[in-house]
Amino acid sequence: MAELTQLPLHDLHAELGGKFVPFAGFNMPVQYPAGVMAEHIWCREKAGLFDVSHMGQVTLPLDQDTALESLVPVDVLGLAPGRQRYGFFTTDAGGLIDDLMIARRATDLFLVVNASRKAEDLAHLRAHLSGVAEIDDRALLALQGPLAEMAFSRLIPATAAMRFMDVATHHWQGHALWISRSGYTGEDGFEISVPVMAADAFARALLAMDEVAPIGLGARDSLRLEAGLPLYGQDLSDQISPIEAGQAWAISKSRRPGGVRAGGYPGAAVIAAQLADGAPRKRVGLIPEGRAPMRAGVELFSAEGTAIGMVTSGGFGPTVGHPIAIALIDAATPPEAIIMAEVRGKRLPAKQAALPFYRPNYKR
């Protein structure tokens, strides 16, 4: 077994009582002594600090924007300086290599990619673009929750004026922080790329505030599940199209059929056909009847016993107070149909539900 990579703030997590688990080749804190449930609620009510330094940070020269746009169904050329956009790399068959964030800054394009797909993403970029640089001397932290702005603005007052999906560079104790107003919890908040040498002091400065607490990987998963946010490797994969995954909203108008720069990315014909005629499968929310969670990989059936799909993410939603799941099912399944899930040898009913389960609180 390959040795796990330690996060730059590993010692701080251990000091805080973090319990570690392997994730995407990293030794990650899954929870702290308060536990996943308490951490989840804390982030919904106050401000949680997540260490997401396992994510890949990549810069590209500005003149590579056209080449980058050829890999994603996203308007990169029209992305304004100081703004960020969600996107995904597509395969020739219309599946997904990865989803990512794309920011245009004054001097470069800055990408944040998933840890589990970092090697594949870098190889894909380097095969089509020049000047691809992986950033390995920075930690990445996320401060999330309704009190995140109040906490962060004590250190950097200018961040209070940032809007959702704004990006900016601000300095703290002489160190440049690369900041975006975004996150993966359904709450307002910030993601902050900070030099490794300053990461410990910066994290401690935030954690010293009464409203800020450390949050682990467990609550990060339940928070994003309630917010209906997809996870690569479960809700997204090279075998799932963005239309099937419920991510059609992220395909820019300019890149759709009839747009000013329509198509031109891998799998464009497949995705265009699904936009026009529908995809063979669809993403739905599920609310199981009873208290038994339906986890990823659980097979789903119609009431008549026909296999119709599977759960891609599932668990307990602490804010909503009951089990929830995201599923990929046959598109022909009526929205009012009860779904039967095979859980430990029993078929248990679940109702289809609109996503997200929890309405996001982003700052517009």
**pLDDT tens, position by position, 86-119:** 999 999 999 999 999 999 999 999 999 999 999 9
What pLDDT does residue 292 have?
86
Q: What is the mean pLDDT of residues 250-278?
A: 98
140 and 221 inside one domain: yes
Domain at 197, CATH number: 3.30.1360.120
Q: What is the mean pLDDT of residues 63-75?
A: 98
pLDDT tens digits for 198-214? 999 999 999 999 999 99
What pLDDT does residue 318 have?
97
295 and 160 inside one domain: no
pLDDT tens digits for 270-309? 999 999 999 999 999 999 998 889 999 999 999 999 999 9
What pLDDT does residue 1 have?
59
Is 265 part of a structural domain of the chain? Answer: no
Residue 184 DSSP symbol: S
151 and 28 inside one domain: yes
Instruction: Answer with the one of 209, 226, 243 that is the final residue of a domain.
Output: 226
Q: Quick check: 2 pLDDT over 80?
A: no
Instruction: Answer with the one of 210, 226, 242 that is the final residue of a domain.
Output: 226
Instruction: Answer with the one of 185, 209, 226 that is the final residue of a domain.
Output: 226
d(CA 324, CA 237): 21
Domain count, the chain: 2
Is 236 part of a structural domain of the chain? Answer: no
pLDDT tens digits for 322-333? 999 999 999 999
Residue range of the domain that includes 326: 280-357
What pLDDT does residue 206 have?
98
Is 340 part of a structural domain of the chain? Answer: yes
Q: What is the mean pLDDT of residues 330-345?
A: 95
What Cα–Cα distance (Å) separates residue 274 from each residue in 95, 111, 217, 343? 12, 27, 34, 32
Q: What is the mean pLDDT of residues 237-254?
A: 98
What are the strands, taking DSSP E only, across 19-90?
A: 19-23, 26-31, 47-51, 56-61, 83-90
Confidence of residue 76 (pLDDT cuts 50, 70, 90): very high
Name the pTM for this structure.
0.97
Mark 74-100 as b/e (b = at least 16 C-beta within 10 Å).
bbbebbeebbbbebbbbbeebbbbbbb
Domain at 346, CATH number: 2.40.30.110
Is 24 part of a structural domain of the chain? Answer: yes
Please state whether beta strands 47-51 and 212-214 pair in parallel, antiparallel, or not at all (unpaired): parallel
pLDDT > 90: percent of the chain: 97
Q: Which long-range contacts (CB under 8 A, 24 or more apart) does 169-174 make?
A: 169/105, 172/198, 172/202, 173/198, 173/201, 173/202
Nearest CA to 75 out of 84, 243, 61 is that of: 84
Is 193 part of a structural domain of the chain? Answer: yes
284 and 222 inside one domain: no
The amino acid occupying position 32 is Y
What Cα–Cα distance (Å) separates residue 178 from each residue in 23, 130, 166, 336? 25, 23, 11, 45
What pLDDT does residue 363 have?
87
pLDDT > 70: percent of the chain: 100
